[in-house]
Amino acid sequence: MSEGKHGAALAIRVTPRARKDEIVEILADQTIKIRLTAPPVEDKANEALIEFLAKVLDVPRSKVEIVAGARGRDKLVSILDLKSSEAQARIMKFLKS
């Protein structure tokens, strides 16, 4: 997780077609491993990822954007107007619940 001038950048590894939407773990390189029920076709998994992260981080969907990796499992996601430390705290809280 890194912090930009106007928000946080999260490294995400997505596994589509899972049983439920969930954060699995945070890997050693700080990549967040997420499982999504959506299939990886017609941007459905990307849309599900944006929706899921907006819910977890308690931010509007419009503040969440995939800035790299839209066609692969590894993605870079930007969260506008949210500090990296706050994003990390909210993800850890979600993991523990």
Q: What is the pLDDT of residues 34-87, one digit of tens each?
A: 999 999 999 999 999 999 999 999 999 999 999 999 999 999 999 999 998 999
- CB environment 5-27: b (16+ within 10 A), e (fewer): eebbbbbbbbebeeeebbbeebe
Question: What pLDDT is attached to residue 1?
Answer: 55
pLDDT value, residue 4 = 46
State yes or no: pLDDT of 24 exceeds 80. Answer: yes
**Residue ranges of domains in the chain, CATH in brackets:** 2-96 (3.30.1200.10)
Residue 97 pLDDT level (bands cut at 50, 70, 90): confident
